[in-house]
Amino acid sequence: GIQVEQSPPDLILQEGANSTLRCNFSDSVNNLQWFHQNPWGQLINLFYIPSGTKQNGRLSATTVATERYSLLYISSSQTTDSGVYFCAVSRYNTDKLIFGTGTRLQVFP
C-alpha cells in the first residue's frame, strides 16, 4: 500500500516564527489533505490539495504530485497553531485515507 512519511516529527517554535512541514508519499494519489488535530482530538481540515498551491490566511500548501510530496507552510506562528499536523492521502477520491505519523508542533509565546 501507499506509504506516507512526514517530517519533522516534532517542531518547537517561538511565536512569530515561520515553519515548513513536509509530506512524502510513495505512489500516485488523487486525494491529499492536510489536517490539524486540536487538543480535543478533532481533525480540522486545512487543505484539500491533490496538486497545486493554495493559501488560507497564514497557512499555505503546495503539492507536487509528479514528485510525490506536499509542503505545508505556517507563517507568523501563534500559540493556537500548536497541535499535531497530519497529511493524508488516498489513491482515488472514494478510497480510504492513509495517514502519516504527523508533525507535533509546539509554539511558545
Nearer to other proteins, 22 or 102 (CB): 102
Instruction: Tell whether residue 2 is a contact of other proteins (CB under 8 A).
Output: no
Decide: helix, strand or coil at residue 41: coil
Q: How many residues bind other proteins (CB under 8 A)?
A: 21
Between the two ends of the chain, the Cα-to-Cα distance in Å is: 41
**90 secondary structure, DSSP code:** E
- CA separation for the pair 54, 19 (Å, rounded): 16
Instruction: Tell whether residue 43 is a contact of other proteins (CB under 8 A).
Output: yes
Nearer to other proteins, 56 or 93 (CB): 93
**27 secondary structure, DSSP code:** S
Q: Lay out the site mask for other proteins across 45-84 (x = CB under 8 A, - = otherwise).
A: x--x------------------------------------
